[in-house]
Every structure is written in C-alpha cells, then in structure tokens.
Amino acid sequence: MVILLSGCVTVPTGFLKPQEGYLEKRSQQSRQYDTTNEKQILTSVAEVLQDLGFTLSESESELGLVSASKKADAKSGGQIAAAVMIDILGAIGGGSPGATMQCDKSQMVRASVITKPGLDGKKTVVRVTFQRIVWNMNNQISRVETINEPQIYQKFFDGLSKSIFLEAQQI
Amino acid sequence: MMKLKKYIIPAALIIVSAGIIGCETTANKAFVTQESQVQLRSIQTRAFDTTDKKKMMQNVISTMQDLDFVIDKADLTLGSVTGTKYLGQSTVAMTVTVRARGEKQLLVRANAQFGTESVADPGTYQDFFNALGKSMFLTAQEVD
C-alpha cells in the first residue's frame, strides 16, 4: 500500500531466469516439419495467422520471424452473470455496484512465430508464443499474461500442418 | 492601477517561464541513468567465443522464448532482437544486440526495462547470459 501511494516501482529480480517447466512449455509451443524449405514454412505461417484473423506487424525472413496481433472480444457469460449477482447482493447490502465493471470486455492477442533449421539439418522447427492483454468494462487493462492453454497451440499447428500440405499440393 | 500593472507582467512572465522549465525537466528524466555508463555496459554485455552471428541470434530468440517473451522485432543485419514479456501487471521490454568483437568473438548486449524503470541489477542480466550460454554450449565471458 505504501509503495502504491508513493508511486515507486520496485524492479523484481529473477525474471530473466528460466522457470521450472520451461522445457515442457517449449515442446508444447514447437513442432518439426520434414522440410528444409524455411521460406515455404514461413509463408504458410503467415497464411495461418491471417486465417485466424491476425494482422502481421513484423517479419524478418532471414531469421525466420513473423509477429502478429489480433483484437478480440473477451466477454464471458459466466463471469458477467456472477458479477451481476455480486452487484445485486452488494446493492441489497447498500454497496455500490462495481463487479460488473471489472468484467473482461476485450483483449489483444500477440503472437510471434520463429522458424529455424532442426538439429539434424533435415527438418524445420516452428515455435509459436502467444500473449494477451485484457481490458475490463471500464476500458482499463485488467491483466497481461502469457497464454499457456495447450489446445490453443494445438489449433495453430493443426492449421499450419493443413496449410503446408495445401501449399505442397499447389492448390 | 498603473503600479499594479508594473508587477503583474513580470509575475506572469515568471510563472510562464517556470512552466516551460518544468516541461524541460520531465524530458530530461528519460535520459537520466542510475549507474555510470561504463558500469552499465559491462553489466549488460558478455563476449562469446563464436563468430556465428545467425546461430547466436537464433539462440537469443529461443532463450527469450523460454523466458516467456514474445519476439516483436528482429534484424539479422543489425543483429538486434526485441521482445516483450508480461509479468503480473507489468511489462518487461528487452532488446538484445549481437555484434562482432575482433575476429574470433561476438559481443552480446541485453537491455531490459521493467515498466518505466531501466533494469540495472547485475544478477538479472547474469541469469539471462547463463541461460544463453547454456543454449549455445559456450561460456559467457565478462568484458571490461
């Protein structure tokens, strides 16, 4: 509380140290493809990101990087229903409604995709990482976080596999 | 009445100029560094016994990804990589540059910012260089 009032920010330490479980996270975020054609993979990556509604913000083909972002709705029926209940109960108790305004409203998802040659020199490794910024009903940033849900990464790679296959088939 | 005017104009001038000076000092705030320039440079820089710039940059990127950074920008020619990491309610922005040092080494420099604060803690950078060295199978050497 004192820190908040004085407006001082203390910089924590240890945030540039790999956390436990980073290797599992790495494998969740990576896939290997049986090709050495990195440019083709990168083109497919851009296609899939566009399929998912992302806008490309940066690319560097020499290093194999594409970064992109997307704005999306973040309203959740369950969260809003719970907040409305809290506000109703609060109003009965004489409080002012606030929980509903704290509900998630919108989000921006940021993605970066990196391709690099596999260790055996015959494959290409693709790694994607996602983050998101969430705004509440008051248009304040309510939280910022790394996205760790495995199914989101799986969905991206399913799309990528399909896209690489389609391009290999020249459709 | 005339006497009063004589005081009002200089007083107004003083207030306006104080306002202008005030603006100038906030811009200066962005250029204030806590550590000496030389000290900061040695905290943020390491030398590695390799000349493979591309491989070094790929390892910088994968180390940053292991640390939950999303890579915003990278440029092989300039040797720079910039990424953002979200930590609770705060944002960490980091730029890493890679350049040749003599004929046999590469110099890697990392600059991190936590929110609006520049990170000057030697241990924090050491953590990053340890992780980077491990991924390159090389030792990060301190430079003067």
Pick from B74, B84, B90: which is nearest to A63 by CB? B74
What pLDDT shows up at residue A56?
Answer: 95
A16-30: pLDDT as tens digits: 999 988 999 999 999
Q: What is the mean pLDDT of residues A46-53?
A: 93
Give the separation between CA A110 and CA B107, rounded to whole angstroms.
30
List the single best residue of A8, A10, A15 to mutate versus B (max B Cβ within 10 A).
A15
Residues 41-100 of B with CB under 8 A from A: 54, 57-58, 61-62, 65-77, 83-92, 94
Give the separation between CA A2 and CA A8, rounded to whole angstroms.
9
A98-156: pLDDT as tens digits: 788 888 889 999 999 999 998 888 899 999 999 999 999 888 888 899 999 999 999 99
Q: Among residues of chain A, what percentage have pLDDT more than 70?
A: 89
Q: Is A114 helix (H, G, I), strand (E, B) or coil?
A: strand
H/E stretch holding B125 = helix B122-136
Nearest to B98 by CA among B117, B118, B82: B82
Higher-pLDDT residue of A79, B103: B103
What pLDDT shows up at residue A5?
Answer: 46
Q: What is the mean pLDDT of residues B16-31?
A: 65
What pLDDT shows up at residue B14?
Answer: 63
B89-106: pLDDT as tens digits: 889 999 999 999 999 999
As beta bridge partners, residue A117 has: A124
Structure tokens that stand for B23 in this block: 């603006």
User: For chain A, give me the number of helices (H) and strands (E)?
Assistant: 5, 6
By the 8 A CB rule, do B96 and A16 touch?
Answer: no
B26-82: pLDDT as tens digits: 787 777 766 677 888 899 999 999 999 999 999 999 999 999 999 999 999 999 999
Q: Is A126 helix (H, G, I), strand (E, B) or coil?
A: strand
**A94 close to B (CB below 8 A):** no
By the 8 A CB rule, do A130 and A152 touch?
Answer: yes
Query: What is the pTM assigned to this prediction?
Result: 0.81
Taking CB atoms within 8 Å and a gap of at least 24, the contacts of A158-161 are A159/A48, A159/A51, A159/A52, A160/A31, A160/A44, A160/A45, A160/A48, A160/A126, A161/A31, A161/A33
Residue-averaged pLDDT of chain A: 86
Q: What is the mean pLDDT of residues A64-85?
A: 88
In chain A, which residue's Cα lies nearest the Cα of B114? A11
- B57 and A25: CB-CB below 8 Å? no
